[in-house]
C-alpha cells in the first residue's frame, strides 16, 4: 500500500484537488481496463465534488457508479446517499441507467438487502465465491468519531471478514456498508476530509499505533493507493 497525504489550504482547494485526483484515476482506469468502477461516499463533504464531476466530459458509458455505504432509507429520502449523488451529479450526465448500482433498501430487512447487493457485486465483477472484487476507485469520508463508510466504532461490522457487504449500525440505526476487506481490495482509495471537528480523530488514525475498533478508518489499508486529502482545518496538526 502506498499512503499519500495532502493538506489543502481550505475546503474549496480540497474539492478542487479531490476533483483533479478523481478525474485522473477515472481516466487511468478507463485507459488501462476499458472502464472505471467507482464507489461513492455519502455525507455532506463530497457534494461539491460530485457537482464538479458532473461537468467533466467523461465517456459516461464506461463508468459504473456504486456506493460504499447507504442509509437504510428510500432513494428519495433526504438522508439517502444515492439521492444526494443523483441530484448533485448523476441526474445531470448521460450515464446509462444500468451503470448506476445503488445499494437496495426496499426489503425492510437490511441483512437481506446487504446479501442482494453482495450478489450483484459478485455477478457484476464475475468473481468466484470467496474472491474479493477490486474497485478502481473508492471515495471515502470520515466522521469525527473516525468511522468511514458505515463502519462505526465498536460495531460488529468491523469484524466481518468473509463478506463484501454487511449491515452497519449507527446508534441503533441500520446502514448498509462495504466491508473492510472489500474496501482494502481497491486499486485506489481516496479519503476527502474537511473540518476542525475531524482533527482529533485524524490524529488517532495517523498515529503509528492505535485502536482500530475505536477508530475504524485505521483499518483502511488498501492493496493499492491510499490518499488522504484534507483541508487545513482537519489536517493542521499533520503538517507541523
Nearer to ligand 6PG, 9 or 44 (CB): 44
In angstroms, the CA 76 to CA 84 distance is 9
**By C-alpha distance, which of 207, 212, 103, 205 is closest to 161?**
212
Please list the residues that pair with 70 across neighbouring strands: 176
The least CB distance from residue 205 to ligand 6PG, in Å, is 13
Cβ–Cβ contacts within 10 Å for residue 4, how many?
11
Task: Say whether residue 179 binds ligand 6PG (CB under 6 A).
Answer: no
Task: Say whether residue 18 binds ligand 6PG (CB under 6 A).
Answer: no
Positive or negative, the CA dihedral 25, 54, 11, 138 is negative
Task: Say whether residue 45 binds ligand 6PG (CB under 6 A).
Answer: yes
State the cell numbers at 20.
483533479
Residue from 18, 22, 37, 41 binding ligand 6PG (CB under 6 A) = 41
x/- site string to ligand 6PG, residues 126 to 165, per CB under 6 A? ---------------xxx---xxxx---------------
Residue count, binding to ligand 6PG (CB under 6 A): 15
Residues 6 or more apart whose Cβ sits within 8 Å of residue 126 = none
Helix then strand then coil, in percent of the chain rounded to 5, is 40, 20, 40
x/- site string to ligand 6PG, residues 71 to 90, per CB under 6 A? x---------x---------
Residue from 23, 28, 43, 204 binding ligand 6PG (CB under 6 A) = 43
In the complex, the residues that contact ligand 6PG under the rule CB under 6 A are 41-45, 69, 71, 81, 141-143, 147-150
Amino acid at each position: 500500500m502506498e499512503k499519500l497525504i495532502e493538506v489543502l489550504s481550505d475546503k474549496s482547494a480540497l474539492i478542487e484537488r479531490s476533483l483533479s485526483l478523481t478525474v485522473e484515476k477515472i481516466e487511468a482506469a478507463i485507459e488501462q481496463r476499458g472502464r472505471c468502477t467507482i464507489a461513492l461516499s455519502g455525507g455532506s463533504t463530497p457534494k461539491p465534488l460530485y457537482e464538479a464531476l458532473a461537468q467533466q466530459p467523461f465517456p459516461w458509458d464506461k463508468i459504473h457508479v456504486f456506493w460504499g455505504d447507504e442509509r437504510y432509507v428510500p432513494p428519495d429520502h433526504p438522508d439517502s446517499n444515492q439521492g444526494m449523488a443523483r441530484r448533485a451529479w448523476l441526474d445531470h450526465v448521460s450515464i446509462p441507467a444500468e451503470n448506476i448500482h445503488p445499494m437496495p433498501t426496499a426489503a425492510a430487512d437490511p441483512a437481506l438487502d446487504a446479501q442482494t447487493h453482495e450478489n450483484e457485486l459478485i455477478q457484476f465483477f464475475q468473481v468466484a465465491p470467496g474472491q474479493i472484487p477490486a474497485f478502481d476507485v473508492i471515495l471515502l469520508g470520515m466522521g469525527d468519531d473516525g468511522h468511514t463508510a458505515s463502519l462505526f466504532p465498536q460495531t460488529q461490522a468491523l469484524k466481518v471478514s468473509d463478506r463484501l457487504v454487511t449491515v452497519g449500525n449507527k446508534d441503533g440505526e441500520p446502514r448498509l456498508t462495504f466491508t473492510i476487506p472489500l474496501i482494502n481490495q481497491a486499486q485506489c482509495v481516496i479519503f476527502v476530509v474537511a473540518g476542525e471537528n475531524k482533527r482529533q480523530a485524524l490524529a488517532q488514525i495517523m498515529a503509528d499505533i492505535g485502536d482500530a475498533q475505536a477508530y475504524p478508518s485505521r483499518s483502511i489499508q488498501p492493496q493499492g493507493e491510499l490518499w488522504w486529502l484534507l483541508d487545513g482545518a482537519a489536517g493542521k496538526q499533520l503538517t507541523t
